[in-house]
Amino acid sequence: MSNDHLEAQPVELEHLPEQREIVTFMRRSSPLNTSQRSALEQYDHLILQYPVGDLRQHFPNPARPLTVEIGFGMGRSLVLMAKANPERNFVGIEVHIPGIAQCVYEAGMAELDNLRVLDADAIQVLKEMPDNSINCVQLYFPDPWQKKRHFKRRFVIDERMQLVEQKLELGGTFHAATDWEPYAEWMLDVLDNRADLENLAGKGNSYPRPDWRPQTKFERRGIEEGHVINDFIFKKIK
């Protein structure tokens, strides 16, 4: 038998075959501070390990409505939302480890039992959820992927929205917010043309900033740079 397969040359990242999955994130490595490092151990019961299957089964009360937040960053706003809504369950999905650690640190200190987080590609997690199982999907200040050749990495494209719609319950909502106006226009164009979604602000409009959505780190940064914030809330109607 030939050993050719053992002698394959290393492939440069840029030359990997086309079929590599296009992802919406870039993993960044940054150091953890002391409390983040200890939080990963102390509050590991709040961290789910991929693959997770049906996210609802990981809560003491699985029948509560489920909110899934994609890319929660450092997680402050997610923790505040979970605190303010004890009648709901929340799952945050993120690939940034210091963010996961910071989020469980704050959730653990607040003794929340309705919040879980995991380090995974949210797309893969959604694919493994049963259809019609999520009450709300939140996408706050997603990476805008400003260069044209990166547009395919934007979360809000038809293919990914189809997946979100499939996993939302009837009457469930998709809530997005962005401080990047070209992405806001893009989002509106994609979302207003989805037959199964209804724009709760009326076609062509962004939703008035809800005061129950706590400010996020990237939102604050955007405001400091003079950016306008746009929220969009779409309901699954079919």
Give the contacts of 64 (CB within 8 A, at least 6 positions apart): 87, 88, 89, 114
Binding positions for ligand SAM, 195-234, rule CB under 6 A = 216-219
Confirm or reject binding of residue 70 to ligand SAM (CB under 6 A).
yes
Confirm or reject binding of residue 164 to ligand SAM (CB under 6 A).
no
Reduced to 3 DSSP states, what percent helix, strand and coil does the chain have, rounded to the nearest 5?
35, 20, 45
181 is in an annotated binding site: no
Judged by CB under 6 A, the number of residues near ligand SAM is 22
Among 66, 142, 164, 207, binds ligand SAM (CB under 6 A): 142
231 is catalytic: no
Which one is catalytic: 113, 143, 192, 196? 143
Q: In Å, what is the CA distance from 157 to each residue of 19, 59, 109, 116, 160?
A: 18, 31, 37, 27, 6
Whether the CB-CB separation of 181 and 204 falls below 8 Å is answered with: no
Among 123, 137, 184, 187, binds ligand SAM (CB under 6 A): 123
Which residue's C-beta sits nearest to ligand SAM?
71
Q: Which 3 state secondary structure label does DSSP give 92? A: strand
Positions marked catalytic: 143
- Residues at the annotated binding site for substrate? 147, 179, 216-219
